[in-house]
Structure 1
Amino acid sequence: MEIKNRSAYFEYYVDDKYVAGISLLGTEVKSLRTGRASFNDSYCLFQKGELWIKSLHISEYSHGTVNNHDPIRDRKLLLTKRELKKLDAKIKEKGYTIIPLRIFFTDKNLAKLEIGLAKGKKLHDKRETIKQRDTERELKRYIK
């Protein structure tokens, strides 16, 4: 199962990608396995030298009991110290942000989050992206 942030490449230029572990609760993992997550307005930020993901919505597990999780709680991302230092230095530059790109499960059934170091696009860049997408779609139709 893989959940993608579809608007990430439309809104941002992604420079670097990193794979981070996420500290999750049991009901969150079960809910992710069914594909019940939303990246709307989610972003990553540093707090006390640790990287956290904010406003990632993981829906409550349907068969959960009273011990179900809070859908929009902050979740800690697990990266090496070297990666954290590198990301922290880049974030301090003007215009860079860290955005979630996709959630996936590894062969060992561990939930991982792919994050990207990105710069925001301007309106004219977004229009250009739409034009490119339309021309690619037309070429595929023509080839068929």
Structure 2
Amino acid sequence: MIRNANVNIKNKRATFDYEITDRYVAGLQLYGTEIKSIRDGKAGLVDTYCLFERGELWVRNMHIATYFFGTYNNHEVKRDRKLLLNKKELSKLQRATKETGYTIIPLRLFINEKGLAKLEIGVARGKKNYDKRQSLREK
């Protein structure tokens, strides 16, 4: 029984501020109240970024609102969350971030067909102001 499986939360500033080169889909390690809040659509990806710590990829500053029906066990709103990827994907991402100017940013948070929360991440390079103006002209 999957309810409200059409959750699709986007990072709207990502394509404007960054040039995306590669995209990956990663799983998230979440608490029960976090997945319930995501299914209610109460999450945000503003000012969110990914970083490597001890060989693992973590997402930082991702806002998931507290669950309304949660008890004293409710989760922290902006805690660091571990991303679940294969070793090959992790090594590719780590090599990509070693290059100057490249970073990993979340692009989209969604619920897949099985009811699991997934985060689409991208290897990105920041745009200059004239690049941003050029992309606005193309629209």
Please give the range of the TM-score, normalised by the shorter of the 2 chains.
over 0.9
1:4 to 7, 10, 20: 10
What is the distance in 2 between the residues matched to 1:32 and 1:84?
25
Q: Which of 118, 122, 129 is residue 128 of structure 2 equivalent to?
A: 122
Q: Report the TM-score when normalising by structure 1.
A: 0.90
Report deviation, 1:65.
0.9
Q: Which has the larger radius of gyration?
A: 1
Q: Which segments of 5 or more consecutive residues in structure 1 lack a partner in the other structure? A: 134-144
Q: What's the CA shift for 1:62?
A: 1.1
Pairing 1:45–2:80 present: no
Q: Deviations over 1:23-64 (max 9, x none)?
A: 000110010011111111110000000000000010111111
From 63, 68, 76, the counterpart of 1:57: 63
Aligned length: 133
TM-score, normalisation: structure 2: 0.94
Q: Tell me how far apart the structure 1 counterparts of residues 80 and 71 of structure 2 sit (CA, whole Å).
A: 21
Pick from 29, 33, 46 the counterpart of residue 27 of structure 1. Answer: 33
1:132 and 2:135 equivalent?
Answer: no
User: C-alpha displacement at 1:11, in angstroms?
Assistant: 0.5
Identity %: 56
List per-residue Cα deviations over 1:98-118 (Å, max 9, x = no partner).
000001111110110000000
SS in structure 2 opposite 1:63? coil
Structure with the higher fraction of residues in helix conformation: 1
Q: Displacement, 1:87?
A: 0.5
Question: Unaligned 5+ residue runs, structure 2?
Answer: 1-6
| 1:85 equivalenced with 2:129 (yes/no) | no
Q: What's the CA shift for 1:129?
A: 1.5
For the residue of structure 2 that corresponds to 1:76, the secondary structure is strand
* Structure 2 letter corresponding to 1:78: L
* Counterpart Cα distance in 1 of 2:33 and 2:138: 41
Q: What is the letter of the counterpart of residue 30 of structure 1?
A: K
1:15 corresponds to which of 21, 30, 41? 21
Structure 1 residues 67-119: Cα deviation after superposition (integer angstroms, max 9, x where no partner): 11000000000000000001101100000000000011111101100000000
